[in-house]
């Protein structure tokens, strides 16, 4: 219980056990936690790892990103940008749209499409993670917010000294 509920202290755990029909003194709970190396509730709640946070929110998280496709057309190669969403819990990817020019108006329309009440790609999601690509403009994020999705811009990752990305 302590590992799954990082904010629960001894008293909360004792109460939860009592609800299940197990009457255990809070000192016993404290002793068990100490023997297993589990910190007090305030320290546990401050030490949540990214992995723990993501795992506890998988059902409501989606990722948003682009990939490009090179298409030969009339002896020229053209680049198309493909916007997709991935539901992190199921790892199901949904194609949102494809365009040669992902401008602000197009991005805003994609956000409206994604937040459609019963048919949008982000149905039942509360958070959408995306990188710092400038295509994810303010109006795109505002449209997601108005549709009940909180966009979360991922922090920039420093590149390695040898010039290769991580």
> Is 5 inside a domain boundary?
no
Digit-coded pLDDT (tens) for 37-69: 777 665 555 556 667 777 778 889 999 999 999
Query: CA nearest 111: which of 126, 95, 122, 124?
Result: 122
pLDDT at 29: 85
pLDDT at 164: 45
> Is 160 inside a domain boundary?
no
Digit-coded pLDDT (tens) for 18-45: 888 999 898 888 888 888 877 766 555 5
> Is 166 inside a domain boundary?
no
Mean of the pLDDT values across residues 58-86? 94
- 76-87 and 150-153 strand pairing: unpaired
pLDDT at 163: 46
Residues 44 and 62 in one domain: no
Residues 73 and 37 in one domain: no
Residues 67 and 127 in one domain: yes
pTM beyond cutoff 0.85: no
Residues 99 and 28 in one domain: no
74 has pLDDT over 80: yes
Mean of the pLDDT values across residues 6-26? 84
Digit-coded pLDDT (tens) for 106-146: 999 999 999 987 778 888 899 999 999 999 999 999 999 99
**How many domains does the chain divide into?**
2
Q: Is the dihedral angle over the CA atoms 38, 39, 45, 48 positive or is it negative?
A: negative
DSSP state of 59: G
Residues 16 and 42 in one domain: yes
Residues 72 and 44 in one domain: no
CA distance 152 to 147: 14
Residues 77 and 31 in one domain: no
Range of the domain at 23: 10-48
């Amino acid at each position: 219980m302590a590992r799954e509920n990082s904010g629960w202290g001894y008293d909360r755990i004792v109460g939860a056990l009592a609800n299940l029909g197990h009457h255990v003194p809070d000192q016993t709970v404290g002793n068990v936690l100490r023997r297993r190396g589990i910190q007090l509730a305030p320290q546990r709640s401050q030490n949540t790892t990214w992995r723990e946070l993501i795992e506890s929110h998988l059902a409501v998280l989606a990722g948003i990103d682009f990939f490009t496709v090179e298409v030969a057309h009339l002896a020229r190669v053209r680049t198309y940008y493909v916007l997709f969403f991935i539901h992190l819990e199921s790892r199901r990817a949904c194609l949102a749209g494809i365009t040669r020019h992902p401008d602000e108006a197009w991005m805003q329309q994609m956000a409206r499409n994604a937040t459609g009440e019963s048919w949008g790609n982000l149905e039942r999601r509360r958070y959408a993670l995306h990188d710092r690509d400038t295509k994810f403009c303010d109006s795109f994020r505002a449209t997601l917010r108005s549709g009940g999705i909180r966009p979360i811009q991922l922090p920039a990752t420093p590149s390695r000294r040898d010039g290769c990305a991580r």
